[in-house]
Amino acid sequence: MKVIINEKTILDQLVSKKIIDLVKSKPNANLGLATGSTPLGVYQNLVNDYQSNNTDYSQVKTFNLDEYLNLPLDHQQSYHTYMNKQLFDHLNINLENTHFPLENNYLNYPTLLKENPLDLQLLGIGSNGHIGFNEPGTAFNSTTNIVKLASETRNDNARFFSKLSDVPTEAISMGLKDIMMAKEIILMANGKNKAAAIYQLVKGLKSEEWPATILQDHPNVTLYLDFDAASLL
Ligand code: GLP
């Protein structure tokens, strides 16, 4: 596992450059995408690059990691709305090439991912070490499924809703086994509240109690950490 530690704006530049270079060298690349606050700077850079350089996304396919259950798709906090607003609305991507586990029948998602191997999977991480919405205790061989959100995750994400009780209790998440099929994985983390999870990922033993530790077995993972997220290393 490679580890890059720098300021958040530099990390955003490095990661967006990797994605842009990939799309330029492989116009029909398959990208696994994440939501949350962590990748916002990367998405903004991709939009800026598209506006200045016309990087072509017309053949790119995207596969999102997860989605809340029981939120209307057009809800302000649905991951569908997020992706449209932050990225898809601003690129020449074909919306038919964008995939979400809920709308694409989650039970078929692993097959879809086998048919369209991800060239690059972008990940954030939860403060409890979740990736996607695979909470502590998720089996390492899990495939895309309905998951219950941990109370820590609901608390963390309450900032996006008017009150805690509005945060959904369930979601659909790409499984850990599905995530591990990606050819390359980039995990980004910033902020002190990610430091414990990053410590476990880099220095801890592989354990289902810290779902991200499964990445220790992946041959091509790079962590992009700001100084706070890396502060316990
Ligand atoms: C969310 C998402 C994850 C994300 C993580 C961190 O709940 N399900 O895909 O990586 O938690 O979120 P943030 O980037 O807002 O800290």
The per-residue pLDDT for 72 is 82
Predicted model pTM:
0.96
Residue with tokens 């995207």: 62
**Which residues form the pocket of ligand 1, taking CB atoms under 6 Å from any ligand atom?**
34-38, 65-66, 124-126, 132-133, 153, 157
Ligand 1: residue of 8, 11, 33, 35 to mutate (most ligand atoms within 8 A of CB) is: 35
pLDDT of residue 31: 98
Region 116-129: mean pLDDT is 98
Q: Dump pLDDT digits (tens) for 49-97.
A: 999 999 999 999 999 999 999 988 888 999 999 999 999 999 999 999 9
Residue 2, pLDDT score:
98
Mean pLDDT of 18-38: 98
> Domain residues of the chain, as ranges?
20-215
Reported as a single tens digit per residue, the pLDDT across 200-218 is 999 999 999 999 999 999 9
What is the topology classification, in CATH, of domain 20-215?
Rossmann fold (3.40.50)
Tell me the mean pLDDT in the region 175-181.
98
